Amino acid sequence: MKQLIIQGGKKLFGTINISGSKNASLPILAATLLVDEKITLKNIPDVKDISTMINLLESIGKKIKFSNSRNQIVITSKKNKKLIAPYNLVKTMRAGVLVLGPLLAKYGQARVSLPGGCAIGSRPVDLHIEMLKKMGAKIKIDKGYIVAKVIKKLKPNKLKFESISVGATENLIMAATLCKGKTTIKNIAIEPEIIDLINFLNKSGAKIFFNSKRIITIEGVESLKGSTHSIIPDRIEAGTYAVASLISNGKITLNRIDTKAMKNIFDVLKLSGAKLNSNKKNSVTVSRKKIKSLNAKTIPYPGFPTDMQAQLMSLLCLGNGKSIIKEDIFENRFLHVSELKRMGANIKIKNKSAYIQGIKNFTGAEVMATDLRASVSLVLAGLAAKGITIVNRIYHLERGYEDLVKKLKKCGASIITKNV
C-alpha cells in the first residue's frame, strides 16, 4: 500500500501543465472499437483508468502501442475478437460499460460485466440498457453480466432519456453511429467530454449533428475510417489545481486548459474570492485574498460539476462563514466529509446537502481516501493544514490524476509518496 505524507502550510507558487481529460479519453478509447483502421490518439493522460481501458480493448481485439510518450497511442485491430468485457477489468473501472454500444453496433453482440456499485453510489446502467433495447438490442442480465445481441442490425429510432446520464449518452451515440438510418436522441448530457467524443467520431467519418438543446441527430454510416485526434484538457484536474492555489493562498498558473469548458467551475471559484488572470490563451493564473463562503449545487453541464464538489468543500471549510453544497447527482458522494471532520472541519450533512461552518485551519491527521475526488479533497486539505497529513489508499488518486505529486512538488508543496 502507498501513502501520501503532506507537511501543510506552504503557499504554492508555480505553473502546472494540465493533462488530457480522463473522462474524454475513456469513451473515445471505447469508440475505437467501431473502427478497423489505424487511430492515433494524442494528449491521453497516463493514469490507471486509461491503462485498464487499454487492457480491456486489447482483450477484446485491439493492438495498442505507445508512440513518443505515454500520452500518445496508436490503435490497430487484431484479427480475432473476444466480445467480452470481463468482471476483473470492469469492477475497477466502471467506464468499461462503454464498450457495450460500440460492440453491439459493430458486431451485433456483447457480454459486458455489470460495473456494480462504487463508493459514491449504486451507479446503475438501466438507462444504457433501456435505450439500447429501443434500438432493437435483446438484453438480459446473466450471472452479473449484461448479455446483449442484435438479430440483424441495430434499428434507428427517436429516443428520449428520462434523466441525464453522461455514460448512457456516450453509449447510445456510439451505438447509433453505424446504425443505418436516422436516430435522434433527446435530453442528452452535453459535457465537453461528450462533444470531444462527437468530434472524434465525425473526424472518423461519422455523421453526428448536435445542437446545444440537448438534442442530437445521427445518420448511421456503413463504416468509419482511421483518424488522428488530440484529447481535450481535463477540466476537473485544472479545477482541482485551481483549488490547490486558493486553499494554500498561493498563486498557480494553469497552462493548456480549455477556458470555455471551465466557465462553470471558474464562476463558482470567483464567488469564493478567487482572482483569475489570463495573460495568454488557454492559461489562467489563480490567486485570492480571502476565502468567501457561498452556496453551490452540483448539476449536469453546464452547471457546477459533481466531480468538483469534494474539492470545493475542502476550500469552503476555510471560508469566512456558512456555506451549503447540495449534491444533486449522486446519492452518496459525501464520503470525504467524515475524513475532513477528522482534520477539524465543521460540516453537517442533512439530506443531500452539506452545511459547512468555516474554521481557521485544518489540523493534519491520518485519513483514508474512498474515491477519486474524495481522495484529492483530502490532499487539498492537507496542503493547507497545520502539521502532517497522511492520506491512505492513494490508488484512488492514481486512477485519475497524472503526476499529482510531481505537479504539486513543482509548486513548492511538501508532499511525498511512502510505501507501507
User: Which helix H or strand E contains 23, and what residues bound it?
Assistant: helix 22-31
Angle between helices 100-107 and 126-133 in degrees, nearest 10:
20
Shortest distance, CB of residue 131 to ligand EPZ, whole angstroms? 9
* CB closer to ligand EPZ, 231 vs 291: 231
Shortest distance, CB of residue 227 to ligand EPZ, whole angstroms? 21
* CB closer to ligand EPZ, 108 vs 121: 121
Give the integer Cα–Cα distance in Å for 200 and 384.
Answer: 40
* CB closer to ligand EPZ, 123 vs 134: 123
* CB closer to ligand EPZ, 291 vs 335: 335
The closest alpha carbon to 242, from 232, 233, 234, 252, belongs to 252
Shortest distance, CB of residue 13 to ligand EPZ, whole angstroms? 28
The closest alpha carbon to 323, from 362, 295, 365, belongs to 295
Q: How far is CA 267 from CA 90, 173, 245, 304, in A?
A: 35, 30, 16, 9
C-beta of residue 62 within 8 angstroms of C-beta of residue 75: yes
Tell me the DSSP string of 283-349: EEEEEESS----EEEE-STTSB-GGGHHHHHHHHTTSSSEEEEEE-S-TT--HHHHHHHHTT-EEEE
Q: Which pairing describes strands 73-77 and 62-66: parallel, antiparallel, or unpaired? A: antiparallel
User: Which helix H or strand E contains 383, and what residues bound it?
Assistant: helix 372-384
* CB closer to ligand EPZ, 168 vs 208: 168
* CB closer to ligand EPZ, 111 vs 128: 128
Rounded to 5 degrees, φ, ψ at 111 are -125, 105
Q: SS3 of 76, please?
A: strand
Shortest distance, CB of residue 124 to ligand EPZ, whole angstroms? 4
Give the integer Cα–Cα distance in Å for 274 and 266.
Answer: 8
Q: List the catalytic residue out of 118, 179, 317, 411.
A: 118
* Interacting residues toward ligand EPZ by CB under 6 A: 23, 26, 94-95, 121, 123-128, 165-168, 189, 306-307, 329-330, 372-373, 400
In the residue annotation, 317 being an active-site residue is answered as no
Shortest distance, CB of residue 97 to ligand EPZ, whole angstroms? 8
Beta bridge partners of 41: 73, 229
* CB closer to ligand EPZ, 5 vs 299: 299
| Per-residue b or e along 202-220, where b marks 16 or more CB atoms closer than 10 Å to that residue's CB | bebbbebebeeebebebbb
Query: Which residue is at the shortest CB distance from ligand EPZ?
Result: 167
Grid cell for residue 344: 477539524
Give the integer Cα–Cα distance in Å for 102 and 109.
Answer: 10
Catalytic center residues: 118
